[in-house]
Structure 1
Amino acid sequence: MNDQTFSLQPFPSTKSLPKLKIAGNIARNGNKLAIRYLLKGDLKEIAIAPLSNTRSRKHELWKDTCFEFFVSIKDSLRYWEFNLSPAGYWNVYRFDAYRQEMQEETAFTILPFSVQNQADGLALVLEVDLNKIVSAEQEIEVAITTVIKHRDGEVTYWALTHRGAEADFHLRDTFIIEL
């Protein structure tokens, strides 16, 4: 098993950012990928939709508070974007190359994740079988990101690293975790 911890950084901004911390861990055991996000801080400043009883696919989750990660096969242009809303919605998109040919990834019909409100924050935990998109022998590269929508409508972008002049989670040199 390959288990790594992470801490996300906000894209630099001239505006004041809420006092937040986004951290967690990611592990790959065989071809099961487990990721745990911990969002801590002043959550009353963040727009978080109430948890829905329905776990369903929904588009454009990145317009609101959304936990995301990107998976690519090492040395391949193709990659997948996973979106997880703390409200319980999800989606997965496949790209053939950098922002090219975005398609909903139909190999996934459900993403089994849980959201727990904690005294000092929120935890989101997902375990997903990658066999539908990659083989267990293939090395993968992962980018971990989060979009935070503030109550005032401002949006901030958090990632392991930011490499562009603007926040861009699709840049392949930000896929820095190897599993």
Structure 2
Amino acid sequence: MNDQTFSLQPFPSTESFPNLKITGNISRNANQLTICYTLGGDLKEIAIPRPSNAPSRKYELWQDTCFEFFLGIKNSQRYWEFNLSLAGHWNVYHFDGYRQGMQEETTFEKLPFSVQNQADGLVLTLDVDLGKIISAEQAIEVGITTLIKYRAGEVTYWALTHRGVEADFHLRDSFIAVDT
């Protein structure tokens, strides 16, 4: 298993926001993918939803603070978008190519993950079996992202790197390889 650490960067903006830091790690062991995000800094201005008593599949989670990752098969245009809300809601979408053929990925009936409040921030951890969508032998590339919405309504876009002139999490040249 190869554990890779990451640090997300905000899309260059003229806005001034509280000091935030989004870091974490990702690892793949055969078809088990584990990703852990840590959100630290001044969180009082961030719109953080309350935990749901009944987390479920929800649409348009990217309208609010949302942790996301994009998983692609190396040398293939196909990829998946995973959305994880701090309230516990989730969704997974499948794409045939860059922003093409978006469909809800129905092979996942649930996507259990944990959100923990800590003294210095929040930690979101997901451990998912990818066997429903890819084989353990397939090499993958992952784009790790987060959308932060502030109480005043402003939004910032965080990613490993920003390759476009606008924030665009779907750009494959911003994905990294994740080894087994």
CA–CA separation in structure 2 for the residues paired with 1:67 and 1:127: 14
SS in 1 for 2:48: coil
Amino acid of the structure 1 residue aligned with 2:174: T
In the alignment, which residue of structure 2 is the partner of 1:108? 108
Find the counterpart in structure 2 of residue 86 from structure 1.
Answer: 86
Measure the CA separation in 1 of the matches of 2:150 and 2:119: 20
Give the CA deviation at 1:49: 0.6
- For 1:167, the equivalent position in structure 2 comes to 167
Displacement of 1:53 in angstroms is 1.3
Counterpart mapping for 1:120-135 below 5 A: 120-135=120-135
Counterpart Cα distance in 2 of 1:59 and 1:152: 22
Matches of 1:5 and 1:120 in 2, distance apart? 19
Task: For 1:15 and 1:113, locate their aligned partners in 2 and report how far apart those are by CA, in whole Å.
Answer: 32
The one-character-per-residue Cα deviations of 1:116-175 (angstroms, maximum 9, x if unpaired) are 011110000000000000000000000000000001100000000000000000001011
Does the 8 A contact of 2:5 with 2:23 survive in 1? yes
Superposed CA RMSD in Å reads: 0.6
Indicate conservation of the 8 Å contact 1:96/1:102, yes or no. Answer: yes
Please identify runs of 4+ aligned residues in structure 1 that moved more than 4 A: none
Letter in 2 for 1:66: C
TM-score for both structures, normalised by structure 2 = 0.98
Aligned amino acid, residue 101 of structure 2: E
Provide, for residues 9-50 of structure 1, a one-character-per-residue CA deviation record: whole Å limited to 9, x for no partner. 000001102200000000001100000000001111100110
Letter in 2 for 1:178: V
Q: How does 1:2-151 map to 2 (within 5 A)?
A: 2-151=2-151
- Count of aligned pairs: 179
| Partner Cα separation in structure 1 for residue 73 and residue 159 of structure 2 | 19
Which structure 2 residue ranges, 5 or more long, are not aligned? none
8 Å CA contact 1:33–1:128 kept in 2: the answer is: yes
TM-superposed CA distance for 1:115, in Å, is 0.4
SS in 1 for 2:126: strand
| 8 Å contact from structure 1 (residues 3, 27) kept in 2 | yes
Q: CA deviation at 1:112?
A: 1.4
> How far is 1:54 from its partner?
1.1
Q: Which runs of 5+ in 1 are unaligned?
A: none
**What's the offset of the Cα at 1:178?**
3.0
Alpha-carbon distance between aligned partners in 1 of 2:18 and 2:168, rounded to the nearest angstrom:
21
Q: Equivalents in 2 of 1:12, 1:126: separation in Å? A: 28
Amino acid of the residue matched to residue 106 of structure 1?
A: T
- Percent identical among aligned pairs is 75
Query: In the alignment, what sits opposite 2:152?
Result: 152
